[in-house]
Structure 1
Amino acid sequence: MNSLFVTFLFLALSSCGDARTKISGRILGGDDANDGLAPYQISLQTDLLGDNLHICGGSIISDHWILLKGNRENDIALCKVSTNITYGEKIQPIKLPSSDVEAGKKALLTGWGYTDFKHNRTAPDKLQKAILKTRTLKQCNRNLKAFKSILPIDKKQVCAYAGRGTGGCPGDSGGPLVINRTLIGVVSFGVPCGQGYDDVFTNVYAYVDWIHGQM
Protein backbone atom coordinates (compact mmCIF):
# COMPACT_ATOMS: atom_id res chain seq x y z
CA MET A 1 0.00 0.00 0.00
CA ASN A 2 1.50 3.35 -0.98
CA SER A 3 -0.80 5.71 0.89
CA LEU A 4 -2.62 6.31 4.14
CA PHE A 5 -6.36 5.92 4.48
CA VAL A 6 -8.09 8.29 6.92
CA THR A 7 -11.74 7.79 7.88
CA PHE A 8 -14.00 10.59 9.18
CA LEU A 9 -17.67 11.11 9.80
CA PHE A 10 -19.61 12.32 6.76
CA LEU A 11 -20.38 15.71 8.33
CA ALA A 12 -16.68 16.55 8.20
CA LEU A 13 -16.46 16.02 4.47
CA SER A 14 -18.45 18.87 2.98
CA SER A 15 -15.26 20.79 2.18
CA CYS A 16 -14.06 18.08 -0.18
CA GLY A 17 -16.65 18.79 -2.83
CA ASP A 18 -19.25 16.57 -4.46
CA ALA A 19 -18.31 14.21 -7.28
CA ARG A 20 -21.62 15.09 -8.97
CA THR A 21 -20.72 18.74 -9.44
CA LYS A 22 -19.02 20.14 -12.54
CA ILE A 23 -16.39 21.94 -10.50
CA SER A 24 -14.47 19.33 -8.53
CA GLY A 25 -11.44 17.05 -8.93
CA ARG A 26 -10.24 13.67 -10.37
CA ILE A 27 -7.34 12.37 -12.52
CA LEU A 28 -8.36 11.67 -16.08
CA GLY A 29 -5.86 10.18 -18.51
CA GLY A 30 -3.39 9.18 -15.81
CA ASP A 31 -1.42 5.99 -15.20
CA ASP A 32 -1.05 3.62 -12.25
CA ALA A 33 1.44 5.07 -9.77
CA ASN A 34 4.39 2.90 -8.77
CA ASP A 35 4.12 1.52 -5.25
CA GLY A 36 5.57 4.10 -2.86
CA LEU A 37 5.63 6.94 -5.41
CA ALA A 38 3.57 9.29 -3.22
CA PRO A 39 4.06 8.26 0.44
CA TYR A 40 2.49 11.56 1.55
CA GLN A 41 -0.84 10.95 -0.25
CA ILE A 42 -3.90 10.06 1.84
CA SER A 43 -7.42 8.97 0.96
CA LEU A 44 -10.07 10.70 3.06
CA GLN A 45 -12.96 8.27 3.51
CA THR A 46 -16.31 7.86 5.22
CA ASP A 47 -17.87 4.65 6.52
CA LEU A 48 -21.35 6.21 6.92
CA LEU A 49 -22.95 3.73 4.50
CA GLY A 50 -21.13 0.71 5.91
CA ASP A 51 -18.37 0.78 3.31
CA ASN A 52 -15.22 2.85 3.25
CA LEU A 53 -16.04 5.42 0.56
CA HIS A 54 -13.28 7.60 -0.88
CA ILE A 55 -14.25 11.28 -0.77
CA CYS A 56 -11.09 13.22 -1.57
CA GLY A 57 -7.34 13.29 -1.22
CA GLY A 58 -4.90 15.04 1.07
CA SER A 59 -1.22 15.22 2.01
CA ILE A 60 0.67 14.33 5.18
CA ILE A 61 2.72 17.34 6.28
CA SER A 62 3.61 16.17 9.82
CA ASP A 63 2.94 13.19 12.07
CA HIS A 64 -0.43 14.65 13.12
CA TRP A 65 -1.43 17.11 10.38
CA ILE A 66 -2.93 16.61 6.93
CA LEU A 67 -3.37 19.38 4.35
CA LEU A 68 -6.44 19.25 2.04
CA LYS A 69 -9.41 21.11 0.64
CA GLY A 70 -11.28 23.99 2.39
CA ASN A 71 -13.91 26.41 1.06
CA ARG A 72 -14.24 28.18 -2.29
CA GLU A 73 -12.68 31.46 -1.19
CA ASN A 74 -9.69 29.87 0.56
CA ASP A 75 -9.64 26.34 -0.79
CA ILE A 76 -7.25 24.82 1.74
CA ALA A 77 -7.69 23.22 5.16
CA LEU A 78 -5.74 21.53 7.91
CA CYS A 79 -6.91 18.32 9.56
CA LYS A 80 -5.40 17.16 12.84
CA VAL A 81 -5.54 13.39 13.32
CA SER A 82 -6.46 12.01 16.76
CA THR A 83 -3.56 9.51 16.76
CA ASN A 84 -0.14 10.42 15.45
CA ILE A 85 0.77 8.99 12.05
CA THR A 86 3.43 6.29 12.18
CA TYR A 87 5.98 6.84 9.44
CA GLY A 88 7.40 3.99 7.40
CA GLU A 89 8.95 3.32 4.02
CA LYS A 90 5.67 4.11 2.25
CA ILE A 91 4.16 6.64 4.68
CA GLN A 92 6.10 9.92 4.87
CA PRO A 93 5.36 13.65 5.14
CA ILE A 94 5.95 16.03 2.26
CA LYS A 95 7.84 19.33 2.43
CA LEU A 96 6.07 22.67 2.27
CA PRO A 97 7.39 25.23 -0.24
CA SER A 98 9.91 27.92 0.72
CA SER A 99 9.32 29.97 -2.46
CA ASP A 100 6.55 30.59 -4.95
CA VAL A 101 6.07 28.19 -7.85
CA GLU A 102 7.48 29.09 -11.28
CA ALA A 103 5.63 28.64 -14.55
CA GLY A 104 6.77 26.01 -17.04
CA LYS A 105 7.71 23.40 -14.42
CA LYS A 106 6.68 19.74 -14.61
CA ALA A 107 4.52 18.76 -11.63
CA LEU A 108 3.23 15.40 -10.36
CA LEU A 109 -0.50 15.01 -9.67
CA THR A 110 -1.74 11.89 -7.84
CA GLY A 111 -5.16 10.71 -6.69
CA TRP A 112 -7.96 8.13 -6.66
CA GLY A 113 -10.50 10.19 -8.58
CA TYR A 114 -12.61 8.88 -11.45
CA THR A 115 -10.71 7.76 -14.56
CA ASP A 116 -13.90 7.79 -16.69
CA PHE A 117 -16.32 10.39 -15.35
CA LYS A 118 -18.35 11.02 -18.51
CA HIS A 119 -19.57 7.46 -19.17
CA ASN A 120 -19.04 4.91 -16.38
CA ARG A 121 -17.65 7.07 -13.55
CA THR A 122 -14.95 4.46 -13.01
CA ALA A 123 -12.91 4.77 -9.81
CA PRO A 124 -9.43 3.18 -9.87
CA ASP A 125 -8.20 0.48 -7.50
CA LYS A 126 -4.69 1.89 -7.70
CA LEU A 127 -3.42 5.39 -7.10
CA GLN A 128 -3.21 7.30 -10.37
CA LYS A 129 -0.54 9.75 -11.51
CA ALA A 130 -0.19 12.35 -14.23
CA ILE A 131 2.40 14.95 -15.19
CA LEU A 132 1.16 18.51 -15.70
CA LYS A 133 3.06 21.71 -16.45
CA THR A 134 2.59 24.85 -14.39
CA ARG A 135 1.35 27.97 -16.18
CA THR A 136 1.40 31.72 -15.70
CA LEU A 137 -1.69 33.42 -14.29
CA LYS A 138 -2.04 35.26 -17.60
CA GLN A 139 -2.08 31.98 -19.55
CA CYS A 140 -4.54 30.46 -17.09
CA ASN A 141 -7.00 33.37 -17.11
CA ARG A 142 -6.89 33.46 -20.90
CA ASN A 143 -7.49 29.71 -21.16
CA LEU A 144 -10.44 29.90 -18.73
CA LYS A 145 -11.99 33.12 -20.09
CA ALA A 146 -15.24 31.31 -20.99
CA PHE A 147 -15.85 30.57 -17.30
CA LYS A 148 -16.33 34.09 -15.97
CA SER A 149 -17.83 32.99 -12.64
CA ILE A 150 -14.51 31.54 -11.46
CA LEU A 151 -12.29 34.39 -12.67
CA PRO A 152 -9.93 35.96 -11.99
CA ILE A 153 -7.43 33.30 -11.02
CA ASP A 154 -5.02 35.06 -8.65
CA LYS A 155 -1.77 34.61 -6.72
CA LYS A 156 -3.45 32.37 -4.15
CA GLN A 157 -3.87 29.80 -6.93
CA VAL A 158 -1.65 27.77 -9.25
CA CYS A 159 -2.64 26.58 -12.72
CA ALA A 160 -1.28 23.50 -14.44
CA TYR A 161 -2.02 21.99 -17.83
CA ALA A 162 -1.56 18.68 -19.58
CA GLY A 163 -3.69 19.08 -22.70
CA ARG A 164 -7.02 17.55 -23.64
CA GLY A 165 -7.75 14.18 -22.04
CA THR A 166 -5.57 14.53 -18.93
CA GLY A 167 -6.10 16.35 -15.65
CA GLY A 168 -7.67 16.42 -12.22
CA CYS A 169 -11.48 16.04 -11.58
CA PRO A 170 -14.09 14.46 -8.86
CA GLY A 171 -12.34 12.37 -6.21
CA ASP A 172 -8.94 14.10 -6.48
CA SER A 173 -10.05 17.29 -4.71
CA GLY A 174 -7.73 18.16 -1.82
CA GLY A 175 -4.92 16.08 -3.27
CA PRO A 176 -1.31 17.07 -3.98
CA LEU A 177 0.48 18.75 -6.88
CA VAL A 178 4.18 18.20 -6.30
CA ILE A 179 7.48 19.48 -7.69
CA ASN A 180 10.79 18.04 -6.41
CA ARG A 181 9.10 16.32 -3.45
CA THR A 182 7.59 19.65 -2.38
CA LEU A 183 3.85 20.29 -2.08
CA ILE A 184 3.13 23.30 -4.29
CA GLY A 185 -0.60 22.89 -4.93
CA VAL A 186 -3.85 21.42 -3.55
CA VAL A 187 -6.40 20.24 -6.13
CA SER A 188 -9.18 22.84 -6.27
CA PHE A 189 -11.23 22.58 -9.48
CA GLY A 190 -11.39 21.97 -13.23
CA VAL A 191 -14.08 23.27 -15.64
CA PRO A 192 -14.76 20.72 -17.04
CA CYS A 193 -12.28 17.90 -16.46
CA GLY A 194 -9.85 16.83 -19.16
CA GLN A 195 -11.31 19.05 -21.88
CA GLY A 196 -8.21 21.12 -22.62
CA TYR A 197 -8.63 23.71 -19.86
CA ASP A 198 -6.18 24.56 -17.08
CA ASP A 199 -6.62 22.75 -13.78
CA VAL A 200 -6.66 25.13 -10.81
CA PHE A 201 -4.90 24.39 -7.52
CA THR A 202 -4.62 26.30 -4.28
CA ASN A 203 -1.13 27.82 -4.06
CA VAL A 204 0.35 26.27 -0.91
CA TYR A 205 3.11 28.90 -0.70
CA ALA A 206 0.47 31.63 -0.31
CA TYR A 207 -0.70 29.92 2.89
CA VAL A 208 2.60 28.73 4.40
CA ASP A 209 2.58 31.28 7.23
CA TRP A 210 -1.03 30.41 8.05
CA ILE A 211 -0.20 26.67 8.03
CA HIS A 212 2.73 27.09 10.42
CA GLY A 213 0.64 29.34 12.62
CA GLN A 214 -2.02 26.67 13.05
CA MET A 215 0.25 23.70 13.66
Structure 2
Amino acid sequence: MSSKGIAIVKLAHNGDNRIVSGWEANDGDIPYQLSLRIVTIVGAVFTCGATIIHNEWGLTAAHCTVNRHNILIRAGGVSLSRPRLFFETTEYYNHPLYVGTMPFVQPHDISVIKFNRFVEYTPYIQPIRLQSSVDRNKNYDGVRLMASGWGRLWTDGPSPTILNWVYLRGVSNHFCWQSYGQSNIIVDSTICASGYNVITQSICQGDSGGPLVVEDVDGVLSQVGISSFLFGTGCNTESPAGFVRPGHYHDWITEVTGINLDWDPNARPSTTIAPEVPTTASPESEGESEGEDEGDETDIVKIKELAPVYYY
Protein backbone atom coordinates (compact mmCIF):
# COMPACT_ATOMS: atom_id res chain seq x y z
CA MET A 1 0.00 0.00 0.00
CA SER A 2 1.57 3.26 -1.09
CA SER A 3 1.69 6.37 1.07
CA LYS A 4 1.19 8.57 -2.00
CA GLY A 5 -1.61 11.04 -1.44
CA ILE A 6 -1.80 10.24 2.27
CA ALA A 7 -1.75 13.37 4.41
CA ILE A 8 -1.35 13.57 8.14
CA VAL A 9 -2.50 16.66 9.95
CA LYS A 10 -1.43 18.46 13.10
CA LEU A 11 -4.26 19.55 15.33
CA ALA A 12 -3.37 22.95 16.77
CA HIS A 13 -5.54 25.81 15.57
CA ASN A 14 -5.76 29.55 15.91
CA GLY A 15 -9.07 29.68 17.79
CA ASP A 16 -11.25 27.99 20.42
CA ASN A 17 -12.09 24.44 19.37
CA ARG A 18 -14.00 21.24 20.05
CA ILE A 19 -13.97 17.40 20.11
CA VAL A 20 -15.90 15.65 17.29
CA SER A 21 -19.17 13.83 18.20
CA GLY A 22 -18.52 14.16 21.92
CA TRP A 23 -20.27 15.62 24.95
CA GLU A 24 -19.84 18.64 27.17
CA ALA A 25 -18.02 18.03 30.44
CA ASN A 26 -19.23 19.21 33.83
CA ASP A 27 -17.03 21.06 36.30
CA GLY A 28 -14.75 18.59 38.07
CA ASP A 29 -15.19 15.79 35.51
CA ILE A 30 -11.78 16.29 33.88
CA PRO A 31 -9.72 18.30 36.40
CA TYR A 32 -6.38 17.42 34.79
CA GLN A 33 -7.22 19.23 31.53
CA LEU A 34 -5.51 22.50 30.63
CA SER A 35 -6.19 24.96 27.85
CA LEU A 36 -3.19 26.67 26.25
CA ARG A 37 -3.33 29.94 24.33
CA ILE A 38 0.05 30.21 22.69
CA VAL A 39 1.58 33.35 21.21
CA THR A 40 4.44 33.23 18.72
CA ILE A 41 7.26 35.76 18.53
CA VAL A 42 5.44 37.47 15.64
CA GLY A 43 2.16 37.69 17.53
CA ALA A 44 0.22 34.82 15.94
CA VAL A 45 -2.08 32.97 18.36
CA PHE A 46 -2.73 29.23 18.54
CA THR A 47 -4.63 27.05 20.98
CA CYS A 48 -3.81 23.58 22.27
CA GLY A 49 -4.68 21.26 25.10
CA ALA A 50 -2.41 20.00 27.86
CA THR A 51 -2.53 18.13 31.17
CA ILE A 52 -1.38 18.69 34.74
CA ILE A 53 1.22 16.08 35.70
CA HIS A 54 2.62 17.82 38.79
CA ASN A 55 2.01 20.98 40.84
CA GLU A 56 4.66 22.74 38.75
CA TRP A 57 4.53 20.93 35.41
CA GLY A 58 2.22 20.34 32.46
CA LEU A 59 2.42 18.01 29.47
CA THR A 60 1.53 18.80 25.85
CA ALA A 61 2.63 18.21 22.25
CA ALA A 62 5.94 19.64 21.04
CA HIS A 63 4.34 21.11 17.92
CA CYS A 64 2.22 23.26 20.24
CA THR A 65 5.17 24.89 21.98
CA VAL A 66 7.99 24.85 19.43
CA ASN A 67 9.19 28.37 18.53
CA ARG A 68 6.54 29.93 20.76
CA HIS A 69 6.96 32.89 23.07
CA ASN A 70 4.17 33.16 25.67
CA ILE A 71 1.86 30.41 26.90
CA LEU A 72 -1.37 31.44 28.63
CA ILE A 73 -2.76 28.60 30.74
CA ARG A 74 -6.34 28.07 31.87
CA ALA A 75 -7.01 25.47 34.57
CA GLY A 76 -9.79 24.33 36.84
CA GLY A 77 -12.89 24.75 34.75
CA VAL A 78 -14.70 23.52 31.67
CA SER A 79 -15.55 27.01 30.39
CA LEU A 80 -12.78 28.96 28.70
CA SER A 81 -14.41 32.15 29.89
CA ARG A 82 -14.49 31.08 33.57
CA PRO A 83 -11.27 29.27 34.53
CA ARG A 84 -10.48 28.96 38.22
CA LEU A 85 -6.83 29.61 37.48
CA PHE A 86 -5.31 31.69 34.68
CA PHE A 87 -1.60 32.36 34.41
CA GLU A 88 1.24 32.78 31.95
CA THR A 89 4.60 31.09 31.43
CA THR A 90 7.41 31.23 28.90
CA GLU A 91 9.29 28.10 30.01
CA TYR A 92 8.87 24.82 28.17
CA TYR A 93 11.05 21.93 27.05
CA ASN A 94 10.51 20.06 23.79
CA HIS A 95 11.92 16.58 23.40
CA PRO A 96 15.45 16.91 21.95
CA LEU A 97 14.66 14.54 19.07
CA TYR A 98 11.73 16.67 17.94
CA VAL A 99 13.02 18.87 15.11
CA GLY A 100 11.28 22.22 15.34
CA THR A 101 12.63 23.46 12.02
CA MET A 102 10.87 20.67 10.13
CA PRO A 103 7.18 21.58 9.61
CA PHE A 104 5.79 18.08 9.28
CA VAL A 105 4.43 15.35 11.55
CA GLN A 106 7.21 13.47 13.31
CA PRO A 107 7.73 11.23 16.34
CA HIS A 108 8.73 12.57 19.79
CA ASP A 109 5.92 15.15 19.63
CA ILE A 110 6.05 15.76 23.37
CA SER A 111 6.77 18.80 25.52
CA VAL A 112 6.74 19.65 29.22
CA ILE A 113 5.70 23.09 30.43
CA LYS A 114 7.10 24.65 33.59
CA PHE A 115 4.48 26.59 35.48
CA ASN A 116 5.57 29.91 36.95
CA ARG A 117 3.94 28.96 40.26
CA PHE A 118 3.07 26.06 42.53
CA VAL A 119 -0.45 25.01 41.52
CA GLU A 120 -2.53 23.93 44.48
CA TYR A 121 -4.79 20.94 43.91
CA THR A 122 -8.53 21.30 44.44
CA PRO A 123 -11.54 19.20 43.41
CA TYR A 124 -11.32 21.06 40.08
CA ILE A 125 -7.55 20.99 39.59
CA GLN A 126 -5.87 17.58 39.78
CA PRO A 127 -2.95 15.78 38.10
CA ILE A 128 -3.30 12.87 35.72
CA ARG A 129 -1.09 9.83 36.16
CA LEU A 130 1.07 9.02 33.15
CA GLN A 131 1.21 5.68 31.41
CA SER A 132 3.84 3.53 33.10
CA SER A 133 7.05 2.64 31.29
CA VAL A 134 6.09 -1.00 31.85
CA ASP A 135 3.04 -0.46 29.63
CA ARG A 136 4.72 1.79 27.06
CA ASN A 137 4.20 -0.73 24.24
CA LYS A 138 0.89 -2.14 25.45
CA ASN A 139 -1.60 -3.04 22.72
CA TYR A 140 -4.81 -1.09 23.36
CA ASP A 141 -6.64 -2.60 20.38
CA GLY A 142 -10.36 -2.64 21.16
CA VAL A 143 -9.91 -0.88 24.52
CA ARG A 144 -12.22 2.00 25.41
CA LEU A 145 -10.24 5.21 25.76
CA MET A 146 -11.29 8.80 26.37
CA ALA A 147 -10.07 12.02 24.75
CA SER A 148 -10.95 15.56 25.77
CA GLY A 149 -10.39 19.10 24.61
CA TRP A 150 -11.86 22.23 23.11
CA GLY A 151 -11.32 20.91 19.57
CA ARG A 152 -13.62 21.74 16.68
CA LEU A 153 -16.96 20.02 16.10
CA TRP A 154 -15.77 19.00 12.62
CA THR A 155 -12.99 19.98 10.25
CA ASP A 156 -12.90 23.79 10.20
CA GLY A 157 -16.22 23.74 12.05
CA PRO A 158 -17.60 25.91 14.89
CA SER A 159 -15.86 26.44 18.20
CA PRO A 160 -17.48 26.36 21.65
CA THR A 161 -16.07 27.49 24.96
CA ILE A 162 -17.04 24.37 26.95
CA LEU A 163 -14.67 21.43 27.36
CA ASN A 164 -15.82 18.31 25.49
CA TRP A 165 -14.95 14.66 25.86
CA VAL A 166 -15.47 11.57 23.73
CA TYR A 167 -14.93 7.83 23.94
CA LEU A 168 -12.53 6.35 21.38
CA ARG A 169 -11.56 2.77 20.62
CA GLY A 170 -7.89 1.85 20.53
CA VAL A 171 -6.54 0.22 17.38
CA SER A 172 -3.31 -1.72 16.94
CA ASN A 173 -0.24 0.06 15.64
CA HIS A 174 -0.18 -2.36 12.70
CA PHE A 175 -3.72 -1.40 11.70
CA CYS A 176 -2.86 2.28 12.13
CA TRP A 177 0.31 1.84 10.05
CA GLN A 178 -1.76 0.31 7.25
CA SER A 179 -4.40 3.04 7.55
CA TYR A 180 -1.72 5.69 7.05
CA GLY A 181 -0.29 4.05 3.93
CA GLN A 182 2.54 2.35 5.85
CA SER A 183 3.81 5.76 6.92
CA ASN A 184 6.93 5.91 9.07
CA ILE A 185 5.14 8.30 11.42
CA ILE A 186 3.56 5.24 13.08
CA VAL A 187 6.26 4.03 15.48
CA ASP A 188 6.43 2.19 18.80
CA SER A 189 5.76 5.41 20.71
CA THR A 190 2.52 6.00 18.76
CA ILE A 191 -0.93 4.97 19.94
CA CYS A 192 -3.92 5.29 17.60
CA ALA A 193 -7.64 5.40 18.25
CA SER A 194 -10.84 5.84 16.25
CA GLY A 195 -14.57 6.13 16.94
CA TYR A 196 -15.90 4.04 19.81
CA ASN A 197 -19.46 3.50 18.61
CA VAL A 198 -19.83 6.23 15.97
CA ILE A 199 -17.29 6.50 13.16
CA THR A 200 -17.19 10.30 13.38
CA GLN A 201 -15.97 10.32 16.99
CA SER A 202 -12.50 11.85 17.03
CA ILE A 203 -10.23 14.65 18.07
CA CYS A 204 -9.95 17.69 15.81
CA GLN A 205 -8.21 21.01 15.22
CA GLY A 206 -7.30 22.57 18.55
CA ASP A 207 -7.10 19.30 20.49
CA SER A 208 -3.33 18.97 20.01
CA GLY A 209 -1.47 18.26 23.20
CA GLY A 210 -4.61 17.10 25.02
CA PRO A 211 -5.02 13.77 26.80
CA LEU A 212 -6.02 10.27 25.78
CA VAL A 213 -6.77 8.34 28.97
CA VAL A 214 -7.74 4.83 30.03
CA GLU A 215 -9.08 3.29 33.20
CA ASP A 216 -6.02 1.30 34.21
CA VAL A 217 -5.65 -2.08 35.91
CA ASP A 218 -6.17 -0.53 39.37
CA GLY A 219 -9.24 1.46 38.34
CA VAL A 220 -7.33 4.77 38.24
CA LEU A 221 -7.08 6.86 35.08
CA SER A 222 -3.74 6.94 33.26
CA GLN A 223 -2.83 9.19 30.36
CA VAL A 224 -1.73 6.87 27.57
CA GLY A 225 -1.60 9.42 24.77
CA ILE A 226 -0.92 13.04 23.83
CA SER A 227 -3.03 14.23 20.87
CA SER A 228 -0.68 14.67 17.92
CA PHE A 229 -2.04 14.13 14.39
CA LEU A 230 -4.97 13.18 12.16
CA PHE A 231 -5.53 11.75 8.73
CA GLY A 232 -5.47 14.48 6.07
CA THR A 233 -9.09 13.86 5.03
CA GLY A 234 -10.27 15.60 8.18
CA CYS A 235 -11.60 15.04 11.67
CA ASN A 236 -15.01 13.42 11.23
CA THR A 237 -13.89 10.29 9.37
CA GLU A 238 -13.34 6.69 10.46
CA SER A 239 -9.56 6.97 10.05
CA PRO A 240 -7.72 6.66 13.40
CA ALA A 241 -6.10 9.63 15.11
CA GLY A 242 -2.51 9.50 16.35
CA PHE A 243 -1.20 10.14 19.86
CA VAL A 244 2.21 10.00 21.56
CA ARG A 245 2.69 7.44 24.36
CA PRO A 246 4.18 9.20 27.41
CA GLY A 247 5.32 5.85 28.79
CA HIS A 248 8.26 5.99 26.36
CA TYR A 249 9.55 9.26 27.81
CA HIS A 250 9.80 8.85 31.59
CA ASP A 251 13.59 9.05 31.62
CA TRP A 252 13.51 12.31 29.68
CA ILE A 253 10.69 13.76 31.80
CA THR A 254 12.65 12.93 34.94
CA GLU A 255 15.80 14.47 33.48
CA VAL A 256 13.99 17.73 32.70
CA THR A 257 11.76 18.07 35.75
CA GLY A 258 13.81 16.25 38.38
CA ILE A 259 10.67 14.27 39.28
CA ASN A 260 10.12 10.56 38.70
CA LEU A 261 6.52 10.14 37.56
CA ASP A 262 6.88 6.49 36.56
CA TRP A 263 5.09 3.69 38.38
CA ASP A 264 4.89 -0.08 38.20
CA PRO A 265 1.36 -1.47 37.83
CA ASN A 266 2.60 -4.85 39.06
CA ALA A 267 4.43 -3.60 42.15
CA ARG A 268 1.93 -1.93 44.47
CA PRO A 269 -1.51 -0.35 44.58
CA SER A 270 -1.53 3.19 43.26
CA THR A 271 -1.91 6.10 45.65
CA THR A 272 -2.24 8.63 42.85
CA ILE A 273 -5.36 10.76 43.00
CA ALA A 274 -7.05 10.78 39.63
CA PRO A 275 -10.61 11.41 38.49
CA GLU A 276 -13.05 8.90 37.15
CA VAL A 277 -14.19 8.77 33.55
CA PRO A 278 -17.49 10.64 33.24
CA THR A 279 -20.36 8.15 33.25
CA THR A 280 -23.09 10.43 31.99
CA ALA A 281 -23.19 12.48 28.85
CA SER A 282 -25.36 15.29 27.63
CA PRO A 283 -26.61 15.20 24.06
CA GLU A 284 -24.32 17.07 21.74
CA SER A 285 -25.48 20.63 21.27
CA GLU A 286 -26.25 21.90 17.81
CA GLY A 287 -26.24 25.29 16.21
CA GLU A 288 -23.77 28.11 16.38
CA SER A 289 -20.66 27.99 18.55
CA GLU A 290 -20.26 30.11 21.64
CA GLY A 291 -16.54 30.59 21.08
CA GLU A 292 -14.70 33.26 19.17
CA ASP A 293 -11.83 32.53 16.83
CA GLU A 294 -8.59 34.39 17.30
CA GLY A 295 -8.57 34.89 13.52
CA ASP A 296 -9.57 33.42 10.17
CA GLU A 297 -6.17 32.35 8.96
CA THR A 298 -5.45 28.62 8.91
CA ASP A 299 -1.79 27.75 8.46
CA ILE A 300 -1.44 24.65 6.27
CA VAL A 301 2.18 23.72 5.67
CA LYS A 302 2.50 21.33 2.72
CA ILE A 303 5.70 19.49 1.91
CA LYS A 304 6.66 16.66 -0.46
CA GLU A 305 3.83 14.69 -2.04
CA LEU A 306 4.67 11.50 -0.16
CA ALA A 307 5.23 13.22 3.17
CA PRO A 308 2.71 14.16 5.89
CA VAL A 309 1.53 17.69 6.47
CA TYR A 310 0.82 19.62 9.62
CA TYR A 311 -2.61 21.21 9.80
CA TYR A 312 -3.30 24.04 12.25
**Correspondence list, 1:46-125, <5 A:** 46=38, 55-71=47-63, 72-98=106-132, 99-100=135-136, 101-103=138-140, 104-118=142-156, 121-125=157-161
Give the Cα separation in 1 of the matches to 2:209 and 2:175.
Answer: 23
Superposition TM-score, scaled by structure 1 size? 0.79
Q: Percent identity?
A: 30
Superposition TM-score, scaled by structure 2 size? 0.56
Aligned residues: 187
State the partner residue of 1:12: none
State the partner residue of 1:39: 31
Deviation, 1:152, is: 4.4
Amino acid paired to 1:42: L
Amino acid paired to 2:116: S
Q: For the Cα contact (< 8 Å) 1:31–1:130, is it kept in 2?
A: yes
Q: What's the CA shift string for 1:32-82, capped at 9, x where partnerless?
A: 12321111000002479xxxx760000000000000011433100000011
- Which secondary structure does the structure 2 equivalent of 1:190 belong to? strand
More helix by share: 1
Q: Which entry has the higher C-alpha Rg, 1 or 2?
A: 2
Name structure 1 gaps, 5 residues minimum.
1-15
Q: What's the CA shift string for 1:92-125, capped at 9, x where partnerless?
A: 001112223332211110000111334xx31122
Give the Cα separation in 2 of the matches to 1:171 and 1:91.
Answer: 21
Q: For the Cα contact (< 8 Å) 2:12–2:46, is it kept in 1?
A: no
Within the candidate set 170, 173, 197, 1:137 is matched to: 173
- Which secondary structure does the structure 2 equivalent of 1:189 belong to? strand
Q: For the Cα contact (< 8 Å) 2:166–2:202, is it kept in 1?
A: yes
Runs of 4+ in 1 over 3 A off after TM superposition: none
Within the candidate set 19, 33, 36, 2:13 is matched to: 19
Name structure 2 gaps, 5 residues minimum.
1-9, 64-105, 216-220, 258-312
Asked whether 1:200 is paired with 2:203, we answer: no
